[in-house]
Amino acid sequence: MGFDPKEVLDAARDIVSNAVERSSDIVEDVGHIIKGDIAGGAGDIVHNSIDIATYAVERAKEAFTGEPADDEFGEI
């Protein structure tokens, strides 16, 4: 099972780009916490963090296996 180093670098760039874009959402969520919506802001931070991690794992899997990540839940 080989991988293309260029694809891995592209995946790393995509992962970082996605994390930077979503970090603005996290900053906005902190604003909600400061305004008093602690539960909502914290929940949104967790949700955005999970989205960042999920994207990173899926993109890394795609880069190393050469196949798009399967949908974990499939079609219902």
pLDDT-above-90 percentage for the chain: 70
Tell me which of 6-10, 19-23, 49-53, 66-70 is least confident.
Answer: 66-70
Residue with tokens 């991988």: 3
For residue 35, the Cα-to-chain-centroid distance in whole angstroms is 26
Is 41 domain-assigned? Answer: yes
Selected residue with higher pLDDT from 74 and 43: 43
Is 76 domain-assigned? Answer: no
Enter the tokens of residue 31.
């604003």
pLDDT at 34: 95
The whole domain housing 17 covers 5-65
Q: How many domains does the chain have?
A: 1
Single-letter amino acid, residue 56: A
Rounded to the nearest 5 percent, the helix, strand and coil shares of the chain are 75, 0, 25
Asked if residue 6 has pLDDT above 50, the reply is yes
pLDDT tens digit string along 7-32? Answer: 889 999 999 999 999 999 999 999 99
What's the CA gap between 20 and 24, in Å, rounded?
Answer: 7
Q: 53 with 64: CB under 8 angstroms?
A: no
Question: How confident is residue 64, by pLDDT bands cut at 50, 70 and 90?
Answer: confident
